[in-house]
Amino acid sequence: MTNSHPDKSDEINITPENIKANGIDTLVISLNGVWKNLAWFSYFSELKKEAQEKSLDVTGRITTEPSGKEWAFIMRPNGSQGFAWLLVGNDFTLRIGQWAISKSRPNVMAEIRSEMLWRLGAQEACSFIIGLLAEMGIDIEVVKPSRVDLCLDILFPKTAWEKNLIDYAVTKAFDRAVYLQNKRQLKGMSFGKGDILARLYDKKLEIKQKSHKMWMFDIWGIQEIPQDKIMLRIEFQMRRELLIEIKINTLTDLFERQQDVWAYCTKRWLKFQDNIDLHRENRNTMKWWQVVQEGYSKAQGANPGIREHILKLDMERLARQAYGILLSFMACHLELTNKKSAIIEMIHILNIFVNFLKEIGKNELEMNESIDERRTRFKRIAERTSE
């Protein structure tokens, strides 16, 4: 423990303009009601049986009336957490129980992905799922948040991002940890576990090493992070028990009182204060944390443009993979034909590749069927919808 802060709070130049994003980064909701259309149970059972027989995921599609909502998904061979069917899409995942009336358990659990929340906005994302399930034939009685992750991204000075910053945390949590890279560079820190936990971490580093969510730069509205800064992600993960404790019982409660939830997290559960050798009553909340406390402004808005960016990133990744494979294919072809290396045009490689595909029995009908099936892996809800 140190007797002085690694960088005095007065010298940490953070203003509200340093905040680049805030919102809900993960949301799991439960839906209770009564299934009126049990034909979907038969459809899901057939898909799951096929997946089990093949020991592979199989694709499925939901189209509803009268709005014409569509959702493409992958059916897993096994259920999840006591739910019979696990349907996985790029936008969200559904766990569906094989019971018509919800009693002790909800009919459906929906886990909404970070990308959908930032692309459509949290309320719009929930509206789509609720509308889809309603048109499928569920009389929905109540929708509750089961897990919520609130976050805020702020440009933070590198000089202040040091591991002894954790000494200045005042928290209700018993557990705390620091995470380092190469035994020196601070990656992040965490507080608590179970019903509520907090994480502070270098978001750009996490994107590079783990999530690869380069589209967050679109959300931040910047092309790069200044060399003397990091993008600090401050994130609180809350489960159902904690949400009930702070009187967030329904989805409506969450959307109407997000700022109250953030205030609880940053003012009562965790804060950073100076003068660590003094009693808590004599400490002052650091100025940079005061900016964090006041910086959450309801849910993120919609950013539909990131859908195109994400798909282009997928295409770039796949193109690089295909390029490497084609180069190896051509090198093998030259060795087979005992031809000397020469200047080769790209179109020449593609022609040889296409001719070889025909030789091994590939055809356009099979190709188009495979393309249509694989589109499920990339499908995302394209437009905002209103209920």
Fold of 26-146: TATA-Binding Protein (3.30.310)
Q: How far apart are CA 187 and CA 12, in angstroms?
A: 19
Instruction: List, in order, residues 6 or more apart from 81 with CB less than 8 Å away.
Output: 95, 109
Number of neighbouring beta carbons within 10 Å of residue 76? 20
Q: How far apart are CA 47 and CA 59, in angstroms?
A: 8
pLDDT, tens only, 118-137:
999 999 999 999 999 999 99
Residue 387 clears pLDDT 50, i.e. is over it: no
pLDDT, tens only, 306-316:
777 677 778 88
Q: How far is CA 309 from CA 116, 148, 170, 304, 316, in A?
A: 13, 26, 40, 10, 10
Residue 385 clears pLDDT 60, i.e. is over it: no
pTM equals 0.84
pLDDT, tens only, 23-76:
999 999 999 999 999 999 999 999 999 999 999 999 999 999 888 889 999 999
Domain spans of the chain, in order of start = 9-24+148-293, 26-146, 306-377
